[in-house]
């Protein structure tokens, strides 16, 4: 992780096309936690190491070679659970293909900026595997119908289609990717401490019924005024 003008960059740096194994996943999670705990950091950029891949998903070749798959999935799920709880806004700077678990990271980010040639989504069905884990963030972000467009045929979205269905916010040339991510985080961090408590509440509301969300809002605003 490297800090630049109060923005922390957490890189997905794995074998091949930034594949995920337990060690890589642990480094990503620690980078996110360190950024969240650093009072000088206003926002987080999650991106792939190198110039042509964001994340190719789990390291399936390592699993096929005999590695226990459970720690791979546990590490991935741990990060997917962590992302909505962070007190800092998170931008996914998608510098290349974001597949399977990599697409899950994209779906769990607050804002997504992608290069035009990125493919984003699940591919597992095309090789005879249902994406049990990867489908969760995709369905939560897109709803079943839009997620099904990708998941059932196992054909990742183009960047343009991902933008149309709401998985990507912006498409920019590669040489503008990180500058644009920094610009958005600069705007998103203007609320300071307000964002730290407000951001997680957005994801909590998403999981509640309409009535329960309003009841929770009343309890919070009442507590705030009585402090």
Q: What span, in angstroms and rounded, lies between the C-alpha atoms of 20 and 17?
A: 9
Beta strands in 82-208 (DSSP E): 90-94, 97-99, 111-114, 119-121, 157-158, 170-171
| DSSP assignment letter at 156 | P
Phi, psi of 129 (to 5 degrees): -130, 135
The residue annotated as part of the active site, out of 29, 74, 124, 204, is: 124
Identify whether 164 is a catalytic site residue. no
Q: What span, in angstroms and rounded, lies between the C-alpha atoms of 151 and 153?
A: 6
Q: Which two tokens stand for residue 100?
A: 């399977």
Active site residues: 124
């Amino acid at each position: 992780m490297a800090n630049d003008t109060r923005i922390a960059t957490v890189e997905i740096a794995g074998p091949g096309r930034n594949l995920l194994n337990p060690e890589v996943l642990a480094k990503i999670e620690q980078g996110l936690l360190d950024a969240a705990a650093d009072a000088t950091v206003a926002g987080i950029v999650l991106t792939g190491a190198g110039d042509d891949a964001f994340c190719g998903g789990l390291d399936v070749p390592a699993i096929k070679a005999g590695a226990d798959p459970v720690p791979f999935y546990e590490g991935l799920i741990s990060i997917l659970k962590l992302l909505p709880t962070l007190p800092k806004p998170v931008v996914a700077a998608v510098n290349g293909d974001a597949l399977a678990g990599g697409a899950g990271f994209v779906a769990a980010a607050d804002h997504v900026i992608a290069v035009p040639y990125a493919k984003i989504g699940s591919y597992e069905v095309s090789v005879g595997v249902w994406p049990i884990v990867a489908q969760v963030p995709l369905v939560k972000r897109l709803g079943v119908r839009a997620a099904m467009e990708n998941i059932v045929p196992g054909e990742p979205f183009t960047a343009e289609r991902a933008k149309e269905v709401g998985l990507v916010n912006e498409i920019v040339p590669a040489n503008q990717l990180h500058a644009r991510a920094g610009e958005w985080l600069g705007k998103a961090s203007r609320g300071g401490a307000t964002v730290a408590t407000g951001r997680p509440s957005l994801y909590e509301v998403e999981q509640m019924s309409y009535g329960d969300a309003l009841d929770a809002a009343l309890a919070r605003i009442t507590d705030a005024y009585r402090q």
